């Protein structure tokens, strides 16, 4: 049997540990592992090669993905998917492991429907926005990167009596911003999932300023697009000299955390066991309440990820929705 792995969409730390585990587990089961380079684009262009232990030696600590990734518009053309299928068939590959997010899963689900290629999707996105899974590969490392950045910014904020608006990634999901705000001691958090009540926050923070507060940390999710408004509010209403720091793609990189490395191993091992043990797979592995499970892709695609209620409840204090 031959099984290929590809990484699609945005990269994240944890992909390389997953790739290393993929090769090792395949050989342990007498399966020939293949790499698809450059994601879905690589399927179309036949950048598909057999993999060996030497390809993955020493990559476990590296961020990003050694087989690279892409965002492919061509894959949404039927003739390009047909070409991708012929490429896989020429190598004798009938099963795939796909590291990516919801866009990648939708693309592979269509591919499965048309050509019967089995696959298991592994949630791999710092946005952490895959329905049915409380955790996606890479999010723990991203949170640690953000925490380090906020700690550094706090040093400057307190030294100059400033307000800093720190904009995190996450697309339309506020998970990164919320967890970062809660764990870094931020005073304000703005995310799409919670109402932002500036009047309530103003009343609260002005009292704290009277009692000696002399700097402010505000964490804002990029999907809300309100960083400039929060800068003007903190400057004109609260009286702080204010700066915006957009963390950007620094959040995607870095050495994978121990947790992301461990989860990469678990995700891949269980996914390969599933592919080897049953047929008609077009599922994604998920992790919820401390347990692994498999959901069919239709269920994931037809539903929207919602941040855990306990986290949202804690975040209401930082958004001004409640005190």
- Residue 76 CB neighbours (<10 A): 12
Is 301 a domain residue? no
At 281 the pLDDT is: 85
Catalytic residue list contains 127: yes
Q: What is the average per-residue pLDDT within 119-128?
A: 98
Reported as a pLDDT band with limits 50, 70 and 90, residue 31 is: very high
Q: What is the average per-residue pLDDT within 186-207?
A: 98
8 A C-beta contact, residue 102 and residue 8: no
- Residue 85 CB neighbours (<10 A): 16
Is 10 a domain residue? yes
Is 302 a domain residue? no
> Same domain for 130 and 16?
yes
Instruction: Say whether pLDDT at 286 is over 80.
Output: yes
Reported as a pLDDT band with limits 50, 70 and 90, residue 322 is: confident
Q: What are phi and psi of 212, to 5 degrees?
A: 120, 0
Task: Give the DSSP letter of residue 231.
Answer: H
Q: What is the average per-residue pLDDT within 16-22?
A: 98
Is 297 a domain residue? no
> Same domain for 267 and 235?
no
Q: What is the average per-residue pLDDT within 131-141?
A: 98
Is 295 a domain residue? no
Distances (CA, A) of 42 to 33, 35, 83, 94, 265: 16, 9, 11, 16, 24
8 A C-beta contact, residue 40 and residue 107: yes
Reported as a pLDDT band with limits 50, 70 and 90, residue 196 is: very high
Instruction: Say whether pLDDT at 133 is over 90.
Output: yes
Is 161 a domain residue? yes
Q: CA-CA distance, 217 to 313, in Å (whole number)?
A: 20
Instruction: Say whether pLDDT at 316 is over 80.
Output: yes
Is 95 a domain residue? yes
Q: What is the average per-residue pLDDT within 264-274?
A: 97
CATH number of the structural domain spanning residue 128? 3.40.50.450
Alpha helices in the chain, H assignment, sequence order: 15-28, 39-45, 53-56, 78-91, 102-115, 139-160, 175-184, 198-210, 227-236, 258-277, 297-301, 309-319
pLDDT digits (tens, 9 = 90+) for 228-245: 999 999 999 999 999 999
Task: Give the percent of the chain with pLDDT over 70.
Answer: 100
CATH number of the structural domain spanning residue 313? 3.40.50.460
**Domain containing residue 57:** 2-138+256-288
Q: What is the average per-residue pLDDT within 135-164?
A: 97
Reported as a pLDDT band with limits 50, 70 and 90, residue 1 is: very high
Between 231 and 279, whose confidence is greater? 231
Instruction: Say whether pLDDT at 257 is over 80.
Output: yes
At 34 the pLDDT is: 98
> Same domain for 230 and 86?
no
Reported as a pLDDT band with limits 50, 70 and 90, residue 250 is: very high
At 189 the pLDDT is: 98
Between 280 and 317, whose confidence is greater? 317
Reported as a pLDDT band with limits 50, 70 and 90, residue 261 is: very high
Task: Give the percent of the chain with pLDDT over 90.
Answer: 98
* Average of per-residue pLDDT values in the chain: 97
Q: What is the average per-residue pLDDT within 10-29?
A: 98
At 37 the pLDDT is: 98
> Same domain for 190 and 314?
yes
Give the torsion through C-alpha atoms of 165, 169, 172, 176, to 10 deg: -80
Q: What are phi and psi of 3, to 5 degrees?
A: -130, 135
8 A C-beta contact, residue 165 and residue 227: yes
Q: CA-CA distance, 250 to 18, in Å (whole number)?
A: 21
Reported as a pLDDT band with limits 50, 70 and 90, residue 279 is: confident
Instruction: Say whether pLDDT at 107 is over 90.
Output: yes
Q: What is the average per-residue pLDDT within 301-317?
A: 97
Structure tokens at 95: 């099963």
> Same domain for 131 and 151?
no
Instruction: Say whether pLDDT at 323 is over 90.
Output: no
Q: CA-CA distance, 165 to 219, in Å (whole number)?
A: 6
Instruction: Say whether pLDDT at 82 is over 90.
Output: yes
How many domains in the chain? Answer: 2
Instruction: Say whether pLDDT at 280 is over 90.
Output: no
Q: What is the average per-residue pLDDT within 157-161?
A: 95
Q: Annotated catalytic residue: which of 11, 127, 129, 260?
A: 127
Is 209 a domain residue? yes
> Same domain for 9 and 130?
yes
For helices 258-277 and 15-28, give the axis angle rounded to 10 degrees.
40
> Same domain for 238 and 95?
no
């Amino acid at each position: 049997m031959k099984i290929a792995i590809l990484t699609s969409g945005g990269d994240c730390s944890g992909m390389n540990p997953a790739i290393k585990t993929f090769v090792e587990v395949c050989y342990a089961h007498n399966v020939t592992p293949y790499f698809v380079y450059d994601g879905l684009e690589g399927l179309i262009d036949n950048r598909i090669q057999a993999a060996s232990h030497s390809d993955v030696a020493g990559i476990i600590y590296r961020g990003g993905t050694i087989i690279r990734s892409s965002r492919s518009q061509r894959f949404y053309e039927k003739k390009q998917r047909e070409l991708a299928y012929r490429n896989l068939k020429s190598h004798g590959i009938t099963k795939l492991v796909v590291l990516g997010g919801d866009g990648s899963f939708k693309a592979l689900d269509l591919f499965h429907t048309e050509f019967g290629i089995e696959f298991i999707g592994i949630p791999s996105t710092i946005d952490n926005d895959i329905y049915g899974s409380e955790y996606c590969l890479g999010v723990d490392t991203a949170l640690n990167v953000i925490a380090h950045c906020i700690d550094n910014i706090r040093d400057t904020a307190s030294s100059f009596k400033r307000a800093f608006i720190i904009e995190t990634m996450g697309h339309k999901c506020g998970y990164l911003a919320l967890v970062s705000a809660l764990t870094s001691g931020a005073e304000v958090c703005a995310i799409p999932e919670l109402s932002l009540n500036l009047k309530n926050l103003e009343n609260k923070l002005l009292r704290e300023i009277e009692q000696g507060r002399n700097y402010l940390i505000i964490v804002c999710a990029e999907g809300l697009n309100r960083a400039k408004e929060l800068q003007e509010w903190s400057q004109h209403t609260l009286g702080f000299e204010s700066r915006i720091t957009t963390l950007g793609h620094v959040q995607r990189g870095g050495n994978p955390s121990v947790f992301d490395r461990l989860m990469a191993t678990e995700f891949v091992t269980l996914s390969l066991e599933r592919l080897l043990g049953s047929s008609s797979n077009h599922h994604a592995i998920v992790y919820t309440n401390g347990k692994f499970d498999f959901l069919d892709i239709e269920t994931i695609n037809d539903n929207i990820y919602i941040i855990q209620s306990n986290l949202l409840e804690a975040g209401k204090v930082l958004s001004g929705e409640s005190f």
